[in-house]
Amino acid sequence: MKKTKNIAELQEIARRMRIDVLKMIHLAGSGHPGGSLSAADIIVSLFFSIMNHSPEYKKLDARDKFVLSKGHAAPILYAVLAECGYFPREDLWTLRKLDSHLSGHPYAPSTPGVEVTTGSLGQGLSQANGIALSDRLDKHDTNVYCLMGDGEMQEGQVWEAAMSAAHYKLGSLIAFLDGNELQIDGWVKDIMNVEPLDKKWESFGWHVQRINGHDFTAIMGAVEEAKKVKDKPSMIICNTVKGKGVSFMERLAKWHGTAPNSDELRRALAELGAE
């Protein structure tokens, strides 16, 4: 894949991906717009600026891997994979339809570009650990990236995986936390407070950074710093906004798993500058 460090280009790609996400979910009549929009800039940065990947790369040693642990944000991953050429863009409009290869959560056997099946929260980091260990054993010079949600931090398996990654010194593992502060039932801090996350991850033996998850320069810089740390895994905590880019969706738990109706879609697309 051709990479770009041009911020304006990345911003434009992210804008288009947000438009596709909203159209997909509207046509499906169900899905998760809030967390897809909050994660858009992180995933766009990874696939268009950072990761070594391509639909043409078939060998495990030839590509970096991405694990979407917060699998309900599948629409933004699908939008990016289509943009990268893993499957036709027209397939996006079949999201959640019968016989579509685009399920509500990523399903590796049927969707090109999806490394592992995810959706049961808390399990993605364990899978990323396994991939990183496998790459080490096979002497692959690659990185594994795992995107998680802050509500997901309430899952016990996350911390078991955190201990394991630090124990095995998985320096090739770089995790991102989409810290939009909301989950399906409301504010994370009210349901089960998980802060201070930076101190917790540090105490588990990880290299930790906290950045603005909508700042492309910050995202790319954080990854560059993480790659320099060879003896421990890295966690990049991203401060993000649920529903980012659409004013009436931002910072509202309602939009965790609600599809926009026709009027809401029209308003959202207008805000994003869609024709």
Q: Return per-residue pLDDT of the chain as tens, 275 residues.
A: 789 999 999 999 999 999 999 999 999 999 999 999 999 999 999 999 999 999 988 766 779 999 999 999 999 999 999 999 999 999 999 999 999 999 999 999 999 999 999 999 999 999 999 999 999 999 999 999 999 999 999 999 999 999 999 999 999 999 999 999 999 999 999 999 999 999 999 999 999 999 999 999 999 999 999 999 999 999 999 999 999 999 999 999 999 999 999 999 999 999 999 97
DSSP tag of 94 = G
Give how far the C-alpha of residue 92 lies from the chain's centroid of Cα atoms, to the nearest Å: 17
Cβ atoms of 201 and 150 within 8 Å: the answer is: no
Tokens representing residue 110 in the block: 């049927």
Q: State pTM to two decimals.
A: 0.97
How far apart are alpha carbons 267 and 254 in whole angstroms? 17
The single-letter code of the amino acid at 6 is N
> How big, in percent rounded to 5, are the helix, strand and coil portions of the chain?
45, 10, 40
Element (H, E) at 209: strand 207-212
pLDDT at 61: 72
pLDDT at 146: 98
ω into residue 55 within 30 of 0, thus cis? no
pLDDT at 13: 98
DSSP tag of 47 = I
Q: Would you identify the CATH topology of the domain 7-271? A: Rossmann fold (3.40.50)
Nearest to 175 by CA among 198, 191, 194, 141: 198
The single-letter code of the amino acid at 131 is I
How far apart are alpha carbons 48 and 7 in whole angstroms? 11
Nearest to 233 by CA among 95, 67, 105: 67
pLDDT at 60: 65
